[in-house]
Amino acid sequence: MLFKQQALLRQKLFVLGSLAIGSLLYLVARVGSLDRLQPLCSIDGRFGPHSQDEIPLRALQFKRGLLHEFRKGNATKEQIRLHNLVQQLPKAIIIGVRKGGTRALLEMLNLHPSVVKASQEIHFFDNDENYAKGIEWYRKKMPFSYPHQITIEKSPAYFITEEVPERIYKMNSSIKLLIIVREPTTRAISDYTQVLEGKERKNKTYYKFEKLAIDPNTCEVNTKYKAVRTSIYTKHLERWLKYFPIEQFHIVDGDRLITEPLPELQLVEKFLNLPPRISQYNLYFNATRGFYCLRFNIVFNKCLAGSKGRIHPEVDTSVITKLRKFFHPFNQKFYQITGRTFNWP
């Protein structure tokens, strides 16, 4: 009797073990074949029709996983085709200004599910060698995206380079252009600080800001100094207005983007005709870093590089006063042209 019970038990265990192994082998085979399976419906079909007022949220896993693999060049042509992904020319460009907050603006806009950013500055329109490679070369530098998404790139040198407005106009005369500005004197000092840090890393000496910003012969503001010239926003904008109407520009307050980013981002969403998706949840103040960081979901967040928020060197107050007085009439004209007023001294 005992022998029969033991035999029956062994038989049951054998059957259960066989079923478990069979199920495991099926799952392995199933997972291995997923990439080869045709989807039951297209990506567009699963998300439904897209309209300007109702654009679906991207799956976070897809955005941070599959798209990342595509950007690294690890995707096959078949995968790209199945997911209906394309490399699109940008429908909006952050054209400047240097040290105005272009990287912060780009990263924050990337929180929006309908925005896909170029990860690096392309320097297509301001670099003659790159521009000579043609528009198809430029397009292939863009990230993969869904057709309904907006691709955005940023190259701050575009704003001050004379050839750029005409070149961008020839590509797309209706493109939307984003300019992010800061108080001109602060921006000039920030520009200087970045160059100074680069010199120090190479153990090179560099002039003090005061010596560069003020002409020693005339004791007036040195307009030949690039950091000063870049801060004369209206001069550069007037060149752009020869090709684009003011309605195609949106001015972002770079100072406010640092202290109160959400209202500025909501204005950009409206300008780009995007549904409001970025919320206060996506932005949190990091007391250690001293500025806002980005929250994509409960487990994924991101802060800008440590090079952001550099401490500026002390600058002689008389030089700051002279610079602010110099920039004042240009600022007033900038307010008139853009229709946006800033609390700049």
Q: Per the annotation, where are the binding residues for 3'-phosphoadenylyl sulfate?
A: 99-103, 182, 190, 292, 308-312
DSSP state of 94: E
- d(CA 323, CA 229) in angstroms, rounded, equals 12
Angle at 262 between CA 271 and CA 59, to 5 degrees: 80
- d(CA 308, CA 291) in angstroms, rounded, equals 9
Helix (H) or strand (E) holding 337: helix 317-338
Sheet holding 283-286, edge to edge: 283-286, 291-295, 301-302
Helix (H) or strand (E) holding 154: strand 150-154
Give the β-pairing of 249-253 and 283-286: unpaired
Catalytic residue among 4, 72, 99, 141: 99
- d(CA 322, CA 123) in angstroms, rounded, equals 34
Any residues with CB less than 8 A from the CB of 186 and at least 6 apart, and which? 255, 312
Amino acid occupying residue 299: V
- d(CA 116, CA 128) in angstroms, rounded, equals 26
- Helix or strand or coil: residue 95? strand
Binding site per annotation, positions:
99-103, 182, 190, 292, 308-312
Contact 320, 214 (CB under 8 A): no
- d(CA 20, CA 25) in angstroms, rounded, equals 9
User: Does the annotation count 99 as an active-site position?
Assistant: yes
The catalytic residues are 99
